[in-house]
Amino acid sequence: MRRVKLAYKTIYGRCYLSSIEDFIDSSIYSSLKGKVSLILTSPPFPLNRKKKYGNLNGNDYLNWLSGITNKLRVLLKRNGSFVLELGNSWQPGKPVMSTLSLKALLSVQESGNYYLCQNFIWYNNAKLPTPAQWVNIERIRVKDSFTNLWWLSKSSRPKANNRNILNNYSDSMNKLLVSKKYNSGLRPSEHVIGEKTFLNNNNGSIPSNVLIGTNTHAFSKYINYCKRHEIKLHPARMPIFIPEFFIKFLTKPGDLVFDPFAGSNTTAEAAENLKRKWISVEQNADYVLGSKGRFLEDETNE
Protein backbone atom coordinates (compact mmCIF):
# COMPACT_ATOMS: atom_id res chain seq x y z
CA MET A 1 0.00 0.00 0.00
CA ARG A 2 1.29 3.45 -0.92
CA ARG A 3 0.77 6.56 1.16
CA VAL A 4 -0.78 9.63 -0.43
CA LYS A 5 -0.58 13.19 0.84
CA LEU A 6 -3.63 15.07 2.08
CA ALA A 7 -3.22 18.52 0.52
CA TYR A 8 -6.13 20.21 2.30
CA LYS A 9 -9.63 19.60 3.59
CA THR A 10 -12.86 21.56 3.83
CA ILE A 11 -16.18 21.18 5.60
CA TYR A 12 -17.32 18.52 3.14
CA GLY A 13 -14.24 17.21 1.41
CA ARG A 14 -10.59 16.32 1.04
CA CYS A 15 -8.08 16.98 -1.74
CA TYR A 16 -5.10 14.62 -2.16
CA LEU A 17 -1.83 15.44 -3.89
CA SER A 18 -1.14 12.18 -5.69
CA SER A 19 -1.15 10.42 -9.02
CA ILE A 20 -4.29 8.37 -9.54
CA GLU A 21 -2.12 5.24 -9.81
CA ASP A 22 -0.68 5.81 -6.33
CA PHE A 23 -4.12 6.64 -4.97
CA ILE A 24 -5.52 3.36 -6.28
CA ASP A 25 -2.69 1.56 -4.48
CA SER A 26 -3.48 3.29 -1.17
CA SER A 27 -5.62 2.37 1.84
CA ILE A 28 -7.88 5.36 1.11
CA TYR A 29 -8.93 3.81 -2.19
CA SER A 30 -9.74 0.55 -0.41
CA SER A 31 -11.84 2.37 2.17
CA LEU A 32 -13.98 4.02 -0.54
CA LYS A 33 -15.18 0.83 -2.22
CA GLY A 34 -18.95 0.92 -2.72
CA LYS A 35 -19.34 4.38 -1.15
CA VAL A 36 -19.16 6.83 -4.08
CA SER A 37 -22.42 8.08 -5.65
CA LEU A 38 -20.82 9.98 -8.53
CA ILE A 39 -17.43 9.98 -10.22
CA LEU A 40 -17.22 13.12 -12.33
CA THR A 41 -14.00 13.97 -14.09
CA SER A 42 -12.22 15.32 -17.13
CA PRO A 43 -9.03 13.32 -17.67
CA PRO A 44 -6.28 14.51 -20.01
CA PHE A 45 -7.78 14.33 -23.49
CA PRO A 46 -6.42 11.85 -26.08
CA LEU A 47 -4.64 14.53 -28.07
CA ASN A 48 -2.03 13.91 -30.73
CA ARG A 49 0.30 16.55 -29.29
CA LYS A 50 1.50 17.13 -25.76
CA LYS A 51 -0.20 19.66 -23.48
CA LYS A 52 1.11 21.27 -20.30
CA TYR A 53 -1.38 19.34 -18.17
CA GLY A 54 -0.07 16.02 -19.51
CA ASN A 55 -1.58 13.55 -21.92
CA LEU A 56 -0.83 10.31 -23.73
CA ASN A 57 -1.91 9.33 -27.22
CA GLY A 58 -2.80 6.34 -29.33
CA ASN A 59 -3.05 2.88 -27.80
CA ASP A 60 -1.02 4.05 -24.81
CA TYR A 61 -3.87 6.40 -23.92
CA LEU A 62 -6.56 3.75 -24.44
CA ASN A 63 -4.78 1.22 -22.25
CA TRP A 64 -4.01 3.77 -19.55
CA LEU A 65 -7.52 5.27 -19.32
CA SER A 66 -9.43 2.00 -19.49
CA GLY A 67 -7.14 0.51 -16.85
CA ILE A 68 -7.81 3.40 -14.49
CA THR A 69 -11.58 3.59 -15.04
CA ASN A 70 -11.92 -0.16 -14.62
CA LYS A 71 -10.40 0.09 -11.15
CA LEU A 72 -12.59 3.07 -10.26
CA ARG A 73 -15.75 1.04 -10.89
CA VAL A 74 -15.54 -0.69 -7.50
CA LEU A 75 -15.79 2.68 -5.75
CA LEU A 76 -19.31 3.27 -7.05
CA LYS A 77 -22.45 2.36 -5.20
CA ARG A 78 -24.77 -0.03 -7.03
CA ASN A 79 -26.84 2.95 -8.23
CA GLY A 80 -23.84 5.24 -8.77
CA SER A 81 -22.84 7.09 -11.94
CA PHE A 82 -19.63 7.95 -13.77
CA VAL A 83 -19.59 11.13 -15.91
CA LEU A 84 -16.55 11.36 -18.17
CA GLU A 85 -15.65 14.35 -20.33
CA LEU A 86 -13.72 13.52 -23.49
CA GLY A 87 -12.72 16.12 -26.05
CA ASN A 88 -12.11 15.75 -29.76
CA SER A 89 -8.73 15.35 -31.45
CA TRP A 90 -7.32 15.59 -34.97
CA GLN A 91 -4.80 13.54 -36.87
CA PRO A 92 -1.37 15.20 -36.98
CA GLY A 93 -0.83 17.36 -40.06
CA LYS A 94 -4.16 16.45 -41.67
CA PRO A 95 -7.62 18.11 -41.72
CA VAL A 96 -9.06 14.81 -40.51
CA MET A 97 -10.50 14.04 -37.10
CA SER A 98 -9.12 11.23 -34.97
CA THR A 99 -11.43 8.49 -33.71
CA LEU A 100 -9.32 8.13 -30.57
CA SER A 101 -11.87 9.75 -28.23
CA LEU A 102 -14.59 7.38 -29.49
CA LYS A 103 -12.29 4.41 -29.06
CA ALA A 104 -11.52 5.68 -25.56
CA LEU A 105 -15.22 5.68 -24.66
CA LEU A 106 -15.71 2.15 -25.96
CA SER A 107 -12.57 0.97 -24.21
CA VAL A 108 -13.72 2.47 -20.90
CA GLN A 109 -17.23 1.04 -21.26
CA GLU A 110 -16.12 -2.45 -22.20
CA SER A 111 -13.24 -2.83 -19.76
CA GLY A 112 -15.32 -1.55 -16.85
CA ASN A 113 -18.58 -3.24 -17.88
CA TYR A 114 -20.39 0.10 -17.66
CA TYR A 115 -23.82 0.93 -19.04
CA LEU A 116 -23.96 4.00 -21.28
CA CYS A 117 -26.94 5.93 -19.92
CA GLN A 118 -26.81 9.00 -22.14
CA ASN A 119 -24.50 11.23 -24.14
CA PHE A 120 -24.30 14.92 -23.20
CA ILE A 121 -22.54 17.69 -25.09
CA TRP A 122 -20.97 20.82 -23.69
CA TYR A 123 -21.27 23.46 -26.42
CA ASN A 124 -18.84 26.30 -25.78
CA ASN A 125 -20.10 29.16 -27.95
CA ALA A 126 -16.96 31.20 -27.18
CA LYS A 127 -14.49 28.51 -28.26
CA LEU A 128 -11.52 29.74 -30.27
CA PRO A 129 -11.57 28.84 -33.99
CA THR A 130 -9.39 25.75 -33.99
CA PRO A 131 -7.67 23.79 -35.47
CA ALA A 132 -6.16 27.06 -36.69
CA GLN A 133 -4.50 25.68 -39.85
CA TRP A 134 -7.70 24.19 -41.22
CA VAL A 135 -10.20 26.76 -39.86
CA ASN A 136 -8.40 30.14 -40.02
CA ILE A 137 -5.72 29.74 -42.65
CA GLU A 138 -6.93 27.27 -45.25
CA ARG A 139 -10.63 27.77 -44.40
CA ILE A 140 -11.55 24.16 -45.14
CA ARG A 141 -13.09 23.26 -41.75
CA VAL A 142 -15.29 24.98 -39.16
CA LYS A 143 -14.28 25.48 -35.54
CA ASP A 144 -14.57 22.60 -33.10
CA SER A 145 -16.86 23.90 -30.35
CA PHE A 146 -17.99 20.99 -28.20
CA THR A 147 -16.84 18.16 -25.99
CA ASN A 148 -18.66 14.97 -25.08
CA LEU A 149 -19.82 14.18 -21.56
CA TRP A 150 -20.54 10.46 -21.34
CA TRP A 151 -22.86 9.35 -18.54
CA LEU A 152 -21.97 5.80 -17.53
CA SER A 153 -23.18 3.63 -14.66
CA LYS A 154 -22.86 0.26 -12.92
CA SER A 155 -26.57 -0.51 -13.33
CA SER A 156 -29.13 0.28 -16.02
CA ARG A 157 -31.13 2.40 -13.54
CA PRO A 158 -28.73 4.56 -11.52
CA LYS A 159 -29.95 7.25 -9.14
CA ALA A 160 -31.22 10.20 -11.21
CA ASN A 161 -33.97 12.81 -10.97
CA ASN A 162 -34.44 15.44 -13.68
CA ARG A 163 -36.82 17.37 -11.39
CA ASN A 164 -33.68 18.66 -9.70
CA ILE A 165 -32.39 20.37 -12.87
CA LEU A 166 -35.50 21.89 -14.40
CA ASN A 167 -35.20 25.04 -16.50
CA ASN A 168 -37.45 28.03 -15.98
CA TYR A 169 -40.50 28.02 -18.21
CA SER A 170 -40.43 30.36 -21.19
CA ASP A 171 -42.78 33.35 -21.32
CA SER A 172 -44.92 31.56 -23.89
CA MET A 173 -45.26 28.49 -21.67
CA ASN A 174 -46.23 30.64 -18.70
CA LYS A 175 -48.90 32.30 -20.85
CA LEU A 176 -50.14 28.88 -21.98
CA LEU A 177 -50.52 27.74 -18.36
CA VAL A 178 -52.71 30.78 -17.74
CA SER A 179 -54.77 30.68 -20.97
CA LYS A 180 -54.89 26.86 -21.11
CA LYS A 181 -55.16 27.11 -24.90
CA TYR A 182 -52.92 25.43 -27.50
CA ASN A 183 -53.19 23.35 -30.64
CA SER A 184 -53.57 19.69 -29.75
CA GLY A 185 -53.71 16.71 -32.08
CA LEU A 186 -51.36 15.03 -34.55
CA ARG A 187 -48.01 16.69 -35.28
CA PRO A 188 -45.97 16.29 -38.52
CA SER A 189 -43.61 14.12 -36.46
CA GLU A 190 -46.61 11.79 -35.91
CA HIS A 191 -46.63 12.50 -32.18
CA VAL A 192 -50.15 12.94 -30.82
CA ILE A 193 -50.50 15.88 -28.41
CA GLY A 194 -53.45 15.47 -26.07
CA GLU A 195 -55.86 18.24 -25.11
CA LYS A 196 -54.44 18.40 -21.57
CA THR A 197 -50.82 17.36 -22.22
CA PHE A 198 -49.33 20.80 -21.56
CA LEU A 199 -51.72 22.03 -18.87
CA ASN A 200 -49.84 20.66 -15.86
CA ASN A 201 -47.47 23.04 -14.12
CA ASN A 202 -44.39 20.94 -13.39
CA ASN A 203 -42.40 23.95 -12.09
CA GLY A 204 -40.10 24.02 -15.09
CA SER A 205 -39.12 22.36 -18.33
CA ILE A 206 -36.92 19.30 -18.68
CA PRO A 207 -33.45 20.27 -19.95
CA SER A 208 -31.86 18.74 -23.01
CA ASN A 209 -28.58 16.86 -23.21
CA VAL A 210 -26.83 19.90 -24.72
CA LEU A 211 -25.21 22.11 -22.06
CA ILE A 212 -24.41 25.59 -23.34
CA GLY A 213 -22.00 27.96 -21.68
CA THR A 214 -18.52 29.42 -21.67
CA ASN A 215 -15.55 29.57 -19.36
CA THR A 216 -14.29 33.00 -20.35
CA HIS A 217 -14.71 34.93 -17.09
CA ALA A 218 -11.64 36.91 -16.06
CA PHE A 219 -12.39 37.05 -12.35
CA SER A 220 -13.33 34.38 -9.83
CA LYS A 221 -12.22 33.36 -6.36
CA TYR A 222 -9.91 30.79 -7.93
CA ILE A 223 -8.42 33.14 -10.54
CA ASN A 224 -7.95 35.98 -8.07
CA TYR A 225 -6.25 33.67 -5.56
CA CYS A 226 -3.84 32.31 -8.16
CA LYS A 227 -2.94 35.80 -9.40
CA ARG A 228 -2.32 37.12 -5.88
CA HIS A 229 -0.04 34.21 -5.05
CA GLU A 230 1.56 33.94 -8.50
CA ILE A 231 0.33 30.39 -9.03
CA LYS A 232 -0.09 28.99 -12.54
CA LEU A 233 -3.70 28.78 -13.66
CA HIS A 234 -4.89 25.42 -14.95
CA PRO A 235 -5.10 25.84 -18.78
CA ALA A 236 -8.21 23.66 -19.27
CA ARG A 237 -10.59 24.48 -16.44
CA MET A 238 -14.09 23.01 -16.48
CA PRO A 239 -16.83 25.64 -15.99
CA ILE A 240 -18.64 25.10 -12.71
CA PHE A 241 -22.12 24.84 -14.24
CA ILE A 242 -21.22 21.42 -15.66
CA PRO A 243 -20.48 19.64 -12.36
CA GLU A 244 -23.37 21.53 -10.75
CA PHE A 245 -25.74 20.10 -13.35
CA PHE A 246 -24.67 16.48 -12.87
CA ILE A 247 -24.33 16.67 -9.09
CA LYS A 248 -27.90 17.99 -8.79
CA PHE A 249 -29.16 15.44 -11.33
CA LEU A 250 -27.42 12.31 -10.03
CA THR A 251 -26.88 12.81 -6.29
CA LYS A 252 -28.51 14.03 -3.08
CA PRO A 253 -27.06 16.20 -0.29
CA GLY A 254 -24.66 14.13 1.77
CA ASP A 255 -23.70 11.81 -1.12
CA LEU A 256 -20.01 11.35 -1.97
CA VAL A 257 -18.59 12.77 -5.22
CA PHE A 258 -15.13 11.75 -6.46
CA ASP A 259 -12.87 13.41 -9.06
CA PRO A 260 -9.74 11.38 -9.85
CA PHE A 261 -8.29 14.02 -12.22
CA ALA A 262 -9.22 17.14 -10.29
CA GLY A 263 -7.14 19.79 -12.05
CA SER A 264 -8.25 23.09 -10.51
CA ASN A 265 -10.90 21.23 -8.48
CA THR A 266 -14.05 22.67 -10.05
CA THR A 267 -15.99 19.49 -9.30
CA ALA A 268 -15.11 19.78 -5.62
CA GLU A 269 -16.20 23.43 -5.45
CA ALA A 270 -19.57 22.54 -6.97
CA ALA A 271 -19.96 19.63 -4.53
CA GLU A 272 -19.02 21.84 -1.58
CA ASN A 273 -21.56 24.49 -2.58
CA LEU A 274 -24.26 21.82 -2.94
CA LYS A 275 -23.48 20.18 0.43
CA ARG A 276 -22.14 16.95 -1.01
CA LYS A 277 -19.16 15.17 0.45
CA TRP A 278 -16.24 15.02 -1.96
CA ILE A 279 -12.77 13.60 -2.53
CA SER A 280 -10.41 14.71 -5.28
CA VAL A 281 -7.01 13.59 -6.52
CA GLU A 282 -4.51 15.69 -8.48
CA GLN A 283 -0.83 15.02 -9.06
CA ASN A 284 0.25 18.53 -10.12
CA ALA A 285 1.31 20.46 -7.01
CA ASP A 286 0.71 23.87 -8.62
CA TYR A 287 -2.85 22.97 -9.57
CA VAL A 288 -3.54 21.67 -6.06
CA LEU A 289 -2.06 24.80 -4.50
CA GLY A 290 -4.19 27.06 -6.68
CA SER A 291 -7.36 25.05 -6.16
CA LYS A 292 -7.19 25.71 -2.44
CA GLY A 293 -8.27 29.26 -3.25
CA ARG A 294 -11.71 28.00 -4.23
CA PHE A 295 -12.49 27.26 -0.59
CA LEU A 296 -10.94 30.19 1.28
CA GLU A 297 -13.27 32.93 2.45
CA ASP A 298 -10.45 35.46 2.60
CA GLU A 299 -6.70 35.72 2.96
CA THR A 300 -6.85 35.51 6.75
CA ASN A 301 -8.28 31.97 6.56
CA GLU A 302 -5.24 30.43 4.84
Instruction: Write out pLDDT tens, residues 221-266.
Output: 999 999 999 999 998 889 999 999 999 999 999 999 999 999 999 9
Judge contact between 247 and 40, C-beta under 8 A.
Answer: yes
Query: What's the start-to-end Cα distance of the chain, in Å?
Result: 31
Task: Report the mean per-residue pLDDT for the chain.
Answer: 90
State the pLDDT confidence band at 59, using cuts at 50, 70 and 90.
confident
pLDDT above 90: residue 19: yes
Confidence tier at 47 by pLDDT (50, 70, 90): low
pLDDT at 301 (0 to 100): 40
Which pLDDT score is estimated for 57?
Answer: 61
- What is the per-residue pLDDT for 192? 77
Q: How far apart are CA 41 and CA 22, in angstroms?
A: 17
DSSP letter at 87? -
Give the CA count within 13 Å in the CB-facing half-sphere of 175. 4
Which one, of 126, 214, 197, 208, lies nearest residue 167 by Cα?
208
Q: Is the pTM of this model over 0.85?
A: yes
| 199 has pLDDT over 80 | no
Structure confidence at residue 55 (pLDDT)? 53
Strand pairing report for 76-86 and 36-41: parallel
Asked if the bond preceding 131 is cis, omega within 30° of 0, the reply is yes
Confidence band, pLDDT 50/70/90 cuts, at residue 298: low
> Which structural domains are found in the chain, ordered by start?
5-161+207-290 (3.40.50.150), 167-205 (no CATH)
Three-state DSSP state, 132: helix
Nearest Cα residue to 124 out of 143, 140, 142: 143
Task: For the chain, give the percent of residues with pLDDT over 70.
Answer: 94
Instruction: Decide if 292 contacts 267 (C-beta within 8 A).
Output: no
pLDDT reported for residue 254:
97
Q: Which amino acid is at 211?
A: L
pLDDT at 51: 47
